[in-house]
Amino acid sequence: MTIQAMLDKLNYKEITPIQAGVFKAFKAQKHVVGLAPTGTGKTHAYLLPILSSVNLKMNAVQALIIVPTNELVVQVEKMLVEADDSFVVKTYYGGTNKMREQEWLRKYQPQIVITTPKQLIEYVLEMKLLGIHTASYVVFDEADMMFDEDFLSMIDRILPAVHKAKYFLFSATMNPSMEPFIKAYFGSYDLIDTTKKHTLKITYKLINIKYQNRMDALVELINRINPYLGFIFVSKKENQDLVYQKMLEEGRSVCTLNASMGVKKRSKLIEEINALKYQYVVTSDLAARGLDFKISHVIHYDLPHFLEFYMHRSGRTGRMYDTGEVITFMTVDDHRKIEKLKEKGIPFENYQFAQNGLVKVNLRKKVVSEEEVNAIKKVKKDKKVTPNYKKKRAQEIKKIKQEFRRKNYANQNR
């Protein structure tokens, strides 16, 4: 089936920038690195040209797709079958019936393989049953969520078997951990960076809760919004459990999705989430990565340690031109991370709690008077560096600012 025939079957009215770029670069000799925001059609960008190129008469592995999680394996397979179900496709992930697969592989080989790195190692190097040396295409999807030392050590053992294949790497961001891998294996490659071409319909609402307890702020928030489906991201497992219990106490329709769940339980829960059995899902960065739900609201209960994860969390909503809201709580300890996110291009808008919802607020920049500036300048710098001199000078400046603040407040309230 041609790419256009599959696009028609999938009811595409127009293709996205990442799809246009990959379709054009597919036949060229160079490897491909594709960067695009989450939810802009990266999976179809590589699936459709691969499916249009696989030889149905060749009973050997022709395409190898590597993804970070079990759920993504299932998700990519579903998207593949929806586009064209003519091929022999095998998926290998945690929970697969290995005895049955071993018997099958002793007689046959699939045309397309979708798997996680760990399972790939097991079937190729340990069982020695899956022959990937015939693959023409190797895809690394959601790469920025997959690249770490464990992955690199595993993939180094695999790539010699597919050194003649064309490589495709897809990611929402160019993570520094990916660069050595790309340099080592991709050589000269086509970079298709569409991160600035996509205008996502996402509103980034920043709520400065200052010293307020995050849990109290969350309760205030859920009493003011009514999401179609809301994902609450919590960094630590223990806090995730507490948030889940609190949501239950508040009488909300909620479930918790965590990485420690068994494959069958997670698969069943994902089906229930897709069927809108719950209005809220409390989850973590690892548990939700790569999953595709129709999410209207993303709530950052706290900020992730690695700011790339903020992009992945937020990219759960506003997918494929839908609208979405991303709500972020900011405490006094979060200012530095928020500034870094602003530098990365996150267009935060300031909001606060109102009686019937959230209202936008325009924060005025603090204006320092000329009198205050001159007073600060008069704080002497020690010619000799004495112990704690920076700290002492900072305390003096702070004292001056406080005095001016009190003075201004008194003048305004006369």
| pLDDT tens digits along 184-213 | 899 889 999 998 776 668 899 999 998 899
Whether 387 has a pLDDT exceeding 70, the answer reads no
**pLDDT for residue 254:** 97
> SS3 of 360, please?
strand
372 vs 318: which has the higher pLDDT: 318
pLDDT at 99 (0 to 100): 92
Residue 49 burial (10 A CB sphere; 0-12, 13-18, 19+): buried
Identify the band that residue 56 occupies on the pLDDT scale cut at 50, 70 and 90: very high
Task: Name the average pLDDT for the chain.
Answer: 87
- DSSP, collapsed to helix, strand or coil, labels residue 300 as strand
Decide which of 134 and 398 is more confident.
134
pLDDT digits (tens, 9 = 90+) for 7-40: 999 999 999 999 999 999 999 989 999 998 877 8
Is a pLDDT exceeding 90 seen at residue 311? no
In order of start, what are the domains of the chain with their CATH numbers? Answer: 3-193 (3.40.50.300), 201-359 (3.40.50.300), 370-412 (no CATH)
H helix runs in 231-332, sequence order: 237-249, 263-274, 285-288, 308-314
Q: What is the pLDDT of residue 208?
A: 95
Q: In this predicted structure, what is the pLDDT of residue 52?
A: 96
| Angle of the 389-412 helix axis to the 370-377 helix axis, nearest 10 | 160
3-state secondary structure of 408: helix
Q: What is the mean pLDDT of residues 159-176?
A: 90
Q: Of 44-58, 212-226, 250-264, 395-409, which gets the smallest average pLDDT?
A: 395-409
Amino acid at 135: A
pLDDT at position 355: 86
Query: pLDDT at position 105, please?
Result: 96
- DSSP helix, strand, coil percent of the chain (3-state; round to 5): 45, 20, 40
Q: What is the pLDDT of residues 216-247, one digit of tens each?
A: 999 999 999 999 999 999 998 889 999 999 99
Q: Does the pLDDT at position 130 exceed 90? A: yes
Please report the pLDDT score of residue 371 as a whole number: 65
The DSSP string of 226-238 is: --SSEEEE-SSHH
**The predicted structure's pLDDT at residue 340:** 93
Spatial CA neighbour of 29 closest among 166, 162, 133: 166
Mean pLDDT to the nearest integer, 261-275: 86
Residue 271: pLDDT over 60: yes
For residue 28, count other CB atoms closer than 10 A to its CB. 11
Please state the pTM of the whole predicted model: 0.72
